[in-house]
Amino acid sequence: MLIFFIDDLFTFEKDRAYKFAKLVKEELPPIEWQCLSRVDTVTPDLLNKMAEAGCNRIYYGIESGNQTVLKDVKGITIEEVENAVKSAKGAGIATSGFFMLALPGDTKETMQETITFSLELDLDEAIFFITTPFPGTRLWDILERKSLVDFNRLDLSKAFYCGTDDMILFNLSNATDDEVLQMFRKANLPFLHYRIKIMLNRKLGKGGRLSYAIVKPIIRIKLLRTLARNFLKVIRV
């Protein structure tokens, strides 16, 4: 059985997270579960306890690879991100990272920093979105005070599908719409190539390089990219 907890701040109250892990380990039969978290709310000890209780994947909201943008929108540091990913991996927990492109202050260059950072973190999965403010969030409130958003003119049904490679509801960055879409379209592909290359090298050794050269052009086909991502999730490379 696999359970996914839809709680953006699962580890925000550390005492609760510790108690939960203890109860699951002592009172329930073995289960596997996953959760969402912030990188500044986890510790190596807590992650070890979660792993012992069956946590096999944690999703971090990382958002940006540029320190200035990251500090402004999230209040966290690059070092905290790196430590949280490293600690989860050390506990045996797979790591997924959520990233946002076209954040306030973003440029084409800072978005490239985010893509590069996702590759350097040794994540098991990187997921990219185009920034979309939702009513009730701090970002929405800031933009509403500046008269940059209007609830009455927002089509929320479209907002949930923002993430396709041809839709931008709001461009909050310093880049053009074309530049944002260009970066979004390329964001997932380098990470996918990177993970497949690592997997082939681990499985095939010296034959991994030749196998990757054969697979590389095939990955460009959209359907096969989707299949490859699902395959990587299953084998957890």
Q: What is the pLDDT of residues 101-149, one digit of tens each?
A: 999 999 999 999 999 999 889 888 888 989 888 888 888 887 788 777 7
Residue 100 host element (H or E): strand 94-101
140 found inside a domain: no
Q: What secondary structure letter does DSSP report for 146?
A: T
17 found inside a domain: yes
Report the number of distinct structural domains present in the chain. 1
What's the CA gap between 134 and 154, in Å, rounded?
9
Greatest distance between any 2 Cα atoms in the chain: 59
CATH at 179: 3.80.30.20
pLDDT at 198: 63
pLDDT at 194: 62
In the numeric block, which tokens belong to residue 59? 């999703």
> Per residue in 76-111, pLDDT tens?
999 999 999 999 999 999 999 999 999 999 999 999
Q: Which percentage of the chain shows pLDDT scores above 90? A: 48
Domain with 43, as residue range(s), is: 2-131+170-235
| 207 — pLDDT class (breaks 50, 70, 90) | low
| 223 — pLDDT class (breaks 50, 70, 90) | very low
pTM here? 0.78
Radius of gyration (C-alpha) of the chain in whole angstroms:
19
153 found inside a domain: no
Say which residue the tokens 């999230």 belong to: 74
Q: Over 90: is that where the pLDDT of 202 sits?
A: no
Q: Over 90: is that where the pLDDT of 188 sits?
A: no
pLDDT at 153: 64
pLDDT at 231: 55
What is the mean predicted confidence (pLDDT) over 40-48? 97
160 found inside a domain: no
| 24 — pLDDT class (breaks 50, 70, 90) | very high
| 175 — pLDDT class (breaks 50, 70, 90) | very high
- Asked whether the beta carbons of 17 and 10 are under 8 A apart, the reply is yes
What's the CA gap between 164 and 166, in Å, rounded?
6
State how beta strands 2-5 and 125-130 pair: unpaired
24 found inside a domain: yes
106 found inside a domain: yes
